[in-house]
Every structure is written in C-alpha cells, then in structure tokens.
Amino acid sequence: MTGPRKTTLPKRYQRLLDISRDLASTLDLEALLDRIVHAAAELTGAQEASILLYDQITKELHFEVATNMSQPMMRGIIVPLDGSIAGWIVANRQPVIIADTAQDQRHFVRVAQVTKVKTTCLLGVPLVTKDKVIGALEAINKRSGQFSEEDQDLLTALGAQAAVAIENARLFQQSDLISDLVHELRTPMASLSTAAHLLLRTDLPDEQRHRIVEIIHDETFRISDLASSFLDLARLESGRAQFRLETFDSRNLLEDCDGVMRSRALDKGLSFDLVIPSKLPEIKADRDKIKQVVLNLLSNAIKYNSSQGKVTLGASATAEELVITVSDTGAGLSPESLSHLFEKFYRAPGSEKLASGTGLGLSICKRIVEAHNGRITVKSEVGVGTLFTVYLPLKPGE
Ligand SMILES: Nc1ncnc2c1ncn2[C@@H]1O[C@H](COP(=O)(O)OP(=O)(O)OP(=O)(O)O)[C@@H](O)[C@H]1O
Ligand SMILES: [Mg+2]
C-alpha cells in the first residue's frame, strides 16, 4: 500500500478497539446491529454497510440492518444462499472484495431495488463465532478508490467482535430471565391497573381511596425493587458484573453489617447477636458485594422470623476460609421449599404474608459467592429456624 495510508493505520485500529469495547457492553440486539453497521462503514470508508443474518432452520439469509434503510422496509427481504454475494460469503466462510459488482454473477439485485442504492463495489466478511457462521457483514461503495486488503482486515476483525456480541445479545434475549421478569411484572402491573381504575370512581369513600393510594405506592416500590435486583442478577448471569477485589478486615465488614441491620431487628421486636472472635483474618474479595450477601441474609432472617425471635450473625475462620453464618428462629423451611430456595423469583408459600420481596436476593447471593469461588449452604427445620452458611476463600484463585 502507499505511504499516506500506512500513517492512518494505527488510528483506525485504535478506533476498532474502542468500537469493540462498546459492542461488548451492548445487550440490546437492535442497538447493537445498528452500531455495528455504522462502525463498518466508518472503518472501511464505505458509503453504506449492512448485516445479513443466517437462519439455521430455514437456511436463508435475512437482511437485518443497513446504514441506509429503515427497519420495516428491509425486514421483508430474504436473500437466497445461492445466487447472492452474502450467501457465497456465508457458505465459504471467506471474505470477498468485488471491484465491480455489475460484473459479478452472484450479485443479488433485489436489495438495491428496495433501497434505491446502486452498489458499485463491495467488501464482505463472514460473521463467525467459534463454531458457526451466523451471517455476513458487507460494506459497499468505497468513498474514494477501491476496498483494500487493509479494509478487509479491519472488517474481518470487526466481524469477529460483532459476531460474539450478536450471539450474546441473542442468548440474552432468549434467556429465561427475561420471560421470568415479564411474568413477575404482570402481578404488580395488574394491581396498578385495578387501583387506577378504582380511583376513577367518584363515589369512593376517602378511607378506601387512601388504601388504594397505599397499594399504588407499595406496588411501584415493588416494581422498582424488581428492576434493580433483576439488573444485578442479569449482570451476574451474563458475566458482565464488575468485581473490584480489595484486601480488607473481615471483622470490620461484619461490624458494618451489624450497624445496618441491628436497629431493624430491634424495631421488629427481635433480638440481634453478633458472635465473632476478637480477631478475624483479612480477606481478598469485593467488599461491597460480600456486604450485599450478608445484608440480604440478615434481611431475610429479620423478615421471615417469628415474633420476639432471634437473629444471630456469626463468623469463624480457618487458614483458607472465612465462614459466615446467619441464623434465625423463624418458621423455617420445608424440604420442598429448600429444594427451590436458590431459584430465581422463588418465594416459599406464605412469605408474602410476612414480608414483601422479589425472590431474587438469594439467587444474587449465590452468584456473588460462587464468583468468589466460595459456596453457600442452608439448613432449616420447620418451626425451629434457618441457618445460612457462607464459605469464602481468603484469597480467591484467579
Ligand atoms: N431465613 C429465612 N427463613 C425463612 N424463609 C426464608 C429465609 N430466607 C429466605 N426465605 C424464603 O426464601 C425466599 C427467597 O429469598 P430471597 O432473599 O431470594 O428473596 P426475598 O427475600 O423474597 O426478596 P428480596 O431478597 O429481593 O427482598 C423468601 O421469599 C422466603 O420465602
Ligand atoms: Mg431476601
């Protein structure tokens, strides 16, 4: 290649890196595809760029997004695997540069008819994740000159990043988590809708009106709790949660938790005991996240306790591990409930009457503890109480 182009190379690669990082943090498929095509056009100096995704079942390519098309217009376009450049790219898993598309037998004209953009030259790369081709990324009409090997390298690198990001976003969209959330939102939404409907009635006594406003207040809180817990869990499940490891005094952390929860327990007429040795080791972990675990366990021990019951926060340590225990004298859990306890959104029968909750707290705890290479166990006896134990390595392996 010529001299001036060489000098622009590092800058374009730097840009590629920035873009890749940006892509990795997007789980919204539509937004992601849009960013990819704009990045593709920018990086290769092309007029337009587009993505076609391969449907493994129908064995067809679907036009998904292009820099120059609005969504509804293109969604209808199915591109045949035989007789299109994109099809060739997908079938051969190879990039292609075509200097003059009019001369190429494989050129598929239907897209041009819809978009009214005439393709003169084209650069296309397959979108490949580790085991399969998921589609093709194409850039058309270089703004000046012809597509080069260097453009091809850049687009191939972008394609590899894009393919992984697309797969992630798709997995996320299909995950049970989303359908579970939608399901869980239905109940508070239905209460809100009923409440609003009732408030429209003019003949309602003030007292009832007041009660309905309280319900609206509670339900909106519940939705907002659900949203923040859900985001926590989604981040943990997708491996996107950030863990900031630091070395800290474990005794100090437990005292912090005591500081937050003791008054809550006393307010409910419960007693609260902190039973820890005078010296506990330092631990390397994400302090805020471990605190979140202990606080949720304590909050459960308070919420699901019996009247005048007892909450105990304890700890001990071995050379390798810190062991934290949270016990209560509440109603306990049946073997049946215990078997579902760490499932998302699970709440034991009758819990709703005792306290509100999302049923996500323990799922989040488990994820956090396991991310630290630790484990969490539970023992419970109906009518006696429940004991949660968290084992955390003092130094989590890399
Ligand atoms: N200490 C406990 N005693 C009795 N039941 C418990 C105890 N801890 C948890 N549970 C049961 O397990 C369920 C799930 O607990 P989890 O912490 O995941 O959710 P939650 O407390 O309902 O909601 P959130 O933690 O988001 O406020 C609870 O709803 C309750 O039924
Ligand atoms: Mg909880």
Q: Domain residue spans in the chain?
A: 3-174, 175-241, 244-398
**Which tokens belong to 147?**
């597509």
User: Edge-to-edge strands of the sheet including 271-275?
Assistant: 271-275, 310-317, 321-328, 385-393, 375-381
**Nearest atom (ligand 1) to Cα of 341:** 12
Q: Which of 48-57, 133-142, 259-268 has the lowest mean pLDDT?
A: 48-57
Residues with CB under 6 A from ligand 1: 229, 296, 300-301, 304, 328, 330, 333, 341, 346-348, 351, 357-362, 386
Protein residue with least CA distance to atom 28, ligand 1: 347
Mean pLDDT, to the nearest integer, of 347-363? Answer: 92
pLDDT value, residue 3: 44
Q: To which residue do tokens 């579902």 refer?
A: 340
Protein residue with least CA distance to atom 19, ligand 1: 359
pLDDT digit string (tens) for 90-140? 999 999 999 998 888 787 776 667 667 788 999 999 999 877 899 999 999
CA dihedral for 207, 210, 214, 219, sign (positive or negative): positive
Query: In angstroms, what is the span from residue 313 Cα to ligand 1's centroid?
Result: 17
**Nearest atom (ligand 1) to Cα of 305:** 3
d(CA 6, CA 27): 35
d(CA 305, CA 299): 10
Protein residue with least CA distance to atom 15, ligand 1: 359
Q: Degrees (nearest 5) of the Cα angle 341, 322, 286?
A: 75
d(CA 10, CA 391): 48
What global pTM score does this model have? 0.65
Greater pLDDT, 8 or 164 = 164
Query: In angstroms, what is the span from residue 251 Cα to ligand 2's centroid?
Result: 23
Instruction: Give domain 244-398's CATH superfamily.
Output: Histidine kinase-like ATPase, C-terminal domain (3.30.565.10)
Query: In angstroms, what is the span from residue 358 Cα to ligand 2's centroid?
Result: 7
Which one-letter amino acid corresponds to residue 301?
Answer: A
Which of 230, 233, 296, 362 maximizes ligand 1 atoms within 8 Å of its Cβ, making it the mutation to test the pocket? 362
* DSSP strand pairing (60-66 vs 78-79): antiparallel
The CATH architecture to which 175-241 belongs is Orthogonal Bundle (1.10)
**Which tokens belong to 8?**
């622009």
Task: For residue 326, give the ligand nearest its CA.
Answer: 1
What is the residue-averaged pLDDT of the chain?
Answer: 89
Q: Has residue 397 got a pLDDT over 80?
A: no
Protein residue with least CA distance to atom 1, ligand 1: 301
The CATH architecture to which 3-174 belongs is 2-Layer Sandwich (3.30)
Contacts of 284 (CB under 8 A, 6+ apart): 245, 246, 247, 394, 395, 396
Mean pLDDT, to the nearest integer, of 321-325? Answer: 98
Query: In angstroms, what is the span from residue 175 Cα to ligand 2's centroid?
Result: 23
What DSSP element (H or E) covers 89? helix 85-92
What DSSP element (H or E) covers 213? helix 206-237
Which one-letter amino acid corresponds to residue 44?
Answer: T
**Which tokens belong to 213?**
């406003």
